[in-house]
Amino acid sequence: MNSLPPEYLDKRQVSQSFEHVAATYERSARLQRMVGEDLLERLQCLKLVPQQILNVGAGVGRLSRALSRRYKQAQVYNVDIALEMVKVGRLHAPRWFSKQHFVCADGAHLPFADDSVDLLVSNLMLQWCNDIPVIFAEFARVLKPDGALFFSTFGPDTLKELRESWASVDNASHVNRFLDMHNYGDALLQVGFSNPVMDVDRFEFTYNDAKQLMRELKQIGAHNLTAGRSHSLTGKGKFQAMLGAYEEYRSADGFLPATYEIVYGHAWGKKPLSVAIPISQIGRPR
């Protein structure tokens, strides 16, 4: 009997999914490119000039290459759980990017020293993690107290049309779960980050049919990997019923929409605890 919650994601399966699409990921991940560009724009408010940058869930390194162009003196560390992503990222890095480094590692267990990073970025990776407070605690560990965290992830309205269409057919998990913006803000405070700021944006892509959307998700390794998914082939009748339910969303111009809710957040490193000592307890030196 499976005791895992239906939304649980197996890290090994997540890694394997992205391993399989690493070679073609760059040309298929259009949303990831757009959100990465937005994240880069948000860094304009950053006052510090980072010397050590960590990109967790770096994929094939597109955002990291942009960071190297902006912060030319910085050492940029690309971390991804999928080894093939790391390999492709290294191939894509121009030879003169001697300050680009590539590491295959789990975001919950980063191979970096405490208080060693000035800037930590993560673009559309957190939705693949089961325990956000654990991930943020690890981010806080490696980030300097005056360092900054900038991230993006998916909110609960992401793929709502696909989720609701499947829900009309059965009770299985067909779409990965996505947390609310407030869950991320609370988790940042829980592990000691300072001054967290959260906001939300939405993107809508259109498709000729739902099959086109599902093919696109598979091409970037983002298909359903939850523990609650059906482990047998979906019957033709159920699949056709889902497609029929999705047709209810078809717009007047003839296309089917797919909504993506993007949660953006930034915060400052974990401040050292200060201890207040009453004057009455301060003794004179002997």
Q: What pLDDT, on a 0 to 100 scale, did the predictor assign at position 274?
A: 45
Residue 63's domain spans which residues?
Answer: 11-158+176-204+260-270
CB neighbours (10 Å) of residue 94? Answer: 10
Is residue 165 within 8 Å of 246, Cβ to Cβ?
yes
Residue 215 belongs to a domain:
no
Nearby residues of 54 by Cβ (< 8 Å), 6 or more positions away: 77, 79, 110, 112, 117, 119, 120, 121, 142
75-102 pLDDT, tens per residue? 999 999 999 999 999 998 866 657 999 9
Residue 183 belongs to a domain:
yes
Element (H, E) at 18: helix 11-21
Half-sphere exposure of 32 (CA within 13 A, CB side): 25
Total number of domains constituting the chain? 1
What CATH number is associated with residue 62?
3.40.50.150
20-61 pLDDT, tens per residue? 999 999 989 999 999 999 999 999 989 999 999 999 999 999
Q: What pLDDT, on a 0 to 100 scale, did the predictor assign at position 187?
A: 97
Q: What pLDDT, on a 0 to 100 scale, did the predictor assign at position 5?
A: 81
Residue 16 belongs to a domain:
yes
Residue 119 belongs to a domain:
yes
**Rounded to the nearest 5 degrees, what angle is found at the Cα of 275, between the Cα atoms of 48 and 139?**
40
Q: Which two tokens stand for residue 126?
A: 């957190």
Nearest 5°: phi and psi at 195? 50, 50
DSSP string for 166-188? HHTT-SS--S-----HHHHHHHH
Residue listed under structure tokens 């999705």: 246
Is residue 115 within 8 Å of 54, Cβ to Cβ?
no
Residues of the chain with pLDDT under 70: 1-2, 94-97, 228, 230-234, 272-286
Q: What pLDDT, on a 0 to 100 scale, did the predictor assign at position 230?
A: 65
Residue 230 belongs to a domain:
no
Residue 217 belongs to a domain:
no
In this structure, the strands spanning 256-268 and 143-154 are antiparallel
Q: What pLDDT, on a 0 to 100 scale, did the predictor assign at position 232?
A: 56
Residue 84 belongs to a domain:
yes
Q: What pLDDT, on a 0 to 100 scale, did the predictor assign at position 8?
A: 84
CB neighbours (10 Å) of residue 272? Answer: 9
Q: What pLDDT, on a 0 to 100 scale, did the predictor assign at position 285?
A: 47
Q: What pLDDT, on a 0 to 100 scale, did the predictor assign at position 280?
A: 52
Half-sphere exposure of 248 (CA within 13 A, CB side): 12
Q: How far apart are CA 184 and CA 202, in angstroms?
A: 17
Residue 97 belongs to a domain:
yes
Q: What pLDDT, on a 0 to 100 scale, did the predictor assign at position 2?
A: 56
Amino acid (one-letter) located at 182? H
